[in-house]
Each structure stands twice: as C-alpha cells, then as structure tokens.
C-alpha cells in the first residue's frame, strides 16, 4: 500500500468538494474530484439513505464523510448533555428574543407535526462521542475512502478504527497549534482552513496560514481551504505548498445544490463583504452570509450567542421554521423568512456571479489552474 494518503484515497484531481448536499458530493466525485459529505447536520436515518444513494451514483469513485468531533463543549465533562438537559439550560431571554424575531419577520408557527427525537432536540448537531457514534458506524460501514473531522481532534479509537479499515483520516485546522495537535493524534491529512472560509474559521488568512501549516506538519500533506473558487486561487494554493484544495462555498449556487432558491439568488448577487464571522449559528466563530439573522444576533441590545451545543439547541426549531417558510416560491431576500435564512458562506462568493454546475466548476478550476501556472512561467521566463 502506498504511503501517500492522497493516492490511497484515489484522488484524480486535487479538488475536494465539501457539501451537506448528496447531489453535490456525487457530482464532484463523478467530475474527477473527491466529494465529501457533511454528515454532521443530518439524522442517522438520512445519512444512511444519502450514503447508499451516493454509492449507487458513483460506484467505486472516491468520496469522504465529514463530521464534528470537538473535545470541549458544554457538558463534555459528563459525556454530553441529553436533549432535555440542553433545552433546560437555554436562558429565557434567548427564547424570548427568538420568539420576538419570528413575530417581527412574520415567520409562521411550527405546524406541530414535526417529529420529536433526540437529534432534533439537540438542534440537529451532535458533539459528544456517543452522539456521533451513529455517524461513525455508518461511515465505517460505507465505501468512503476519507473520514474528516470538521471540528476537533479525532479521538484515538476513531483514528485507529479508520486506519484498520483502510480509510484516510483528515481534520480541519485554523491554526498551527491545531494542525500539530491533529498530527500528534495520528491523522493523515491536515486541511488548513483560513479566515476567508465559510463555516468555522480561525483568524489567519490563507496566504499566511497555508505555508505556516505546510512547514509545521511536513511531510504530512496539507489541503488549502478558504477563498478558493477558481483556477488562479488553486494555483496559488499549490504554490504555497498545499497538495490540493478543499472547496465549499463554490458549490452552493450550483444546479445540484439543494440550497434554498432565495439564498442561491442572494449568494450570486453578493459581494465579498457580504459575509461575516459570527457566533450566530453554532455559538463558535463561523463565517455566514450576512442575512438579517446575523445582524439580529450582532445587535448590542440582543442576547449573546450561547456556547455550543446550547446555541444549536436554542435555535434549531426556529431555523427549521425559517427554512420552511423561505422555501416558498414567493420568498424574497428583502423581507420575512427569506431575509433571515442563514447559511455558511465564504468571502469567495464575491467571485461567484452565476449559477453553474459542479462539473463546470471542476473543469474551469482545472483549466484555470493550468493557465495560471503557464502565465507565471511565461512571466518569469521573460525576466
């Protein structure tokens, strides 16, 4: 077996496409990349359905599974809170603020037919090892070649089991300290997630973070993440020492994406300045599209976001109501649920000006990278 984890995955082109949408994951893998399924926001039943569907679509092509594995969160000292315990810990002023927000933005009440289970009670996110066990069991039973921790150092037993099954283990890092902790734990690939990225991010930009982590963890391969949506940025990442790129925001407005149409339209129209690093979605710093949801939580007269996982528990049912209302064909980004609808998105959305397909993104990124490298070579040869 080769010692190169990227070759063990079966990577054809150095592009990893992260998405919570199974259609995007399959499309990226079929176009020559490695689609990575974000499992952390789905129920175990939905994950099982989606993984079977992905594998039916892509056959033996490579894909990965991504989940949250933090070591520090409210309740970590006792193995994690139950849904009932977490709900009981939500301050009354936070619930009152959310109720008032729903009234002011005319978001309809829940219908009452939503199923009650532990996954939903926890706000649709799992943090403890016990809560994530279902995802891990499904991952280890799948054909996935890659297991990724989006948040936290993977536990030793998870890395050991993944390696025993021939899986490659990767983890996102927003700092050199985090990258070194991942490598010390035995992971195979570090994903340098920079300040520009959508979702959970650190405070260092990619032009600095990528070479810092490349140097710190060598010879462990590094993927660059954050601010990458075209071939020029891909070429820059490779020049900084990355062995590939990890992209998320670029897939959001694609035809395959299941993102709400009103949010897709907003993303296509957005500038790079229309995102904000905020605690408004998970309680941890995360870059989101700057919708009314973000501005409401950032107001000085509103409650502070709660630590994770309490924030996800507090907002879970409200976000579900918003998304259900914003799915209406009449929804607009100017008012009501359409104005609130939250989504993670990186600064690179400023470069995305139209809806396209995952395959087209892949083609343009690869050809753009080749053209960028040739342009630099021509420039240097002319000196």
DSSP 179-223: HHHHHHHT-SEEEEE-TTSSEE--SS-HHHHHHHHHHHHTTS-EE
Q: What is the DSSP letter of 142?
A: S
Query: How many angstroms separate the CA atoms of 275 and 349, rounded?
Result: 9
Query: Residue 179's closest CA among 199, 153, 205?
Result: 153
Q: What's the pLDDT score for residue 68?
A: 82
Q: Which residues have a Cβ under 8 Å from the Cβ of 46 and sit 6 or more positions away?
A: none
Query: How many angstroms separate the CA atoms of 161 and 159, rounded?
Result: 6
Is there a cis peptide before residue 160, judged by omega within 30 degrees of 0?
A: no
Q: What is the DSSP letter of 238?
A: H
Q: What's the pLDDT score for residue 41?
A: 83
Written as tens digits, the pLDDT of the chain (383 aa) is: 468 999 999 989 999 999 999 999 999 999 999 999 999 888 889 999 999 999 999 999 999 999 987 665 555 555 566 667 778 889 999 999 999 999 999 999 987 655 555 555 555 566 555 667 788 999 999 999 999 999 889 989 999 999 999 999 999 999 999 999 999 999 999 999 999 999 989 899 999 999 999 999 999 999 999 999 999 999 999 999 999 999 999 999 999 999 999 999 999 999 999 999 999 998 889 999 999 999 999 999 999 999 877 898 899 889 999 999 999 988 898 889 999 999 999 999 999 999 999 999 999 999 999 999 999 999 999 87
Query: How many angstroms separate the CA atoms of 348 and 252, rounded?
Result: 11
Q: What is the pTM (predicted TM-score) of this model?
A: 0.92
CA atoms within 13 A on the CB side of 46: 13
Q: Are 347 and 272 in contact (CB under 8 A)?
A: yes
Q: What's the pLDDT score for residue 331?
A: 87
Question: C-alpha angle with apex 370: 209 to 19, nearest 5 degrees?
Answer: 55
Spatial strand order of the sheet with 275-278 comes to 199-200, 286-289, 275-278
Q: What's the pLDDT score for residue 110?
A: 82
Q: Which residues pair with 189 in a beta bridge?
A: 170
Instruction: Tell me which residue has tokens 């700057």.
Output: 290
Q: What's the pLDDT score for residue 123?
A: 54
Q: What's the pLDDT score for residue 134?
A: 83
């Amino acid at each position: 077996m080769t010692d190169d984890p990227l070759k063990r995955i079966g990577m054809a082109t150095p592009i990893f496409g992260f998405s919570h949408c199974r259609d995007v994951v399959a499309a990226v893998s079929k176009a020559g990349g490695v689609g990575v399924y974000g499992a952390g926001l789905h129920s175990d039943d939905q994950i099982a359905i989606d993984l079977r569907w992905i594998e039916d679509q892509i056959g033996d092509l490579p894909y990965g599974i991504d989940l949250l594995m933090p070591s520090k969160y409210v309740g970590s000292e006792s193995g994690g809170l139950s849904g009932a315990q977490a709900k009981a810990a939500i301050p009354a002023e936070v619930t009152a603020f959310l109720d008032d927000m729903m009234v002011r933005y005319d978001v309809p009440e829940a219908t009452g037919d939503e199923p009650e289970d532990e996954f939903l009670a926890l706000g649709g996110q799992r943090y403890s090892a016990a809560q994530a066990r279902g995802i891990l069991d499904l991952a280890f039973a799948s054909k996935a070649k890659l297991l990724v921790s989006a948040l936290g150092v993977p536990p030793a037993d998870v890395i050991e089991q993944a390696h025993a099954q021939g899986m490659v283990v990767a983890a996102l890092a927003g700092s050199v300290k985090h990258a070194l902790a991942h490598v010390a734990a035995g992971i195979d690939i570090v994903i340098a997630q920079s300040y520009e990225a959508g979702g959970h991010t650190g405070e260092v930009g990619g032009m600095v973070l990528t070479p810092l982590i490349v140097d710190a963890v060598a010879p462990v391969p590094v993927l660059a993440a954050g601010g990458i949506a075209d071939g020029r940025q891909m070429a820059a990442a490779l020049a900084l020492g990355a062995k590939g790129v990890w992209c998320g925001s670029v897939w959001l407005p694609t035809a395959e994406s299941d993102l709400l149409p009103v949010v897709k339209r907003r993303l296509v129209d957005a500038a790079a300045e229309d995102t904000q690093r905020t605690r408004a979605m998970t309680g941890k710093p995360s870059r989101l599209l700057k919708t009314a949801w973000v501005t409401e939580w950032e107001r000085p007269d509103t409650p502070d976001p709660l630590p994770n996982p309490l924030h996800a528990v507090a907002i879970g049912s409200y976000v579900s109501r918003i998304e259900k209302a914003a799915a209406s064909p009449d929804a607009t980004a100017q008012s009501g649920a359409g104005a609130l609808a939250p989504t993670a998105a990186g600064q690179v959305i400023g470069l995305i000006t139209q809806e396209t397909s995952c395959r087209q993104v892949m083609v343009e990124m690869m050809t753009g990278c080749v053209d960028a490298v040739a342009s630099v070579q021509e420039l240097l040869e002319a000196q």
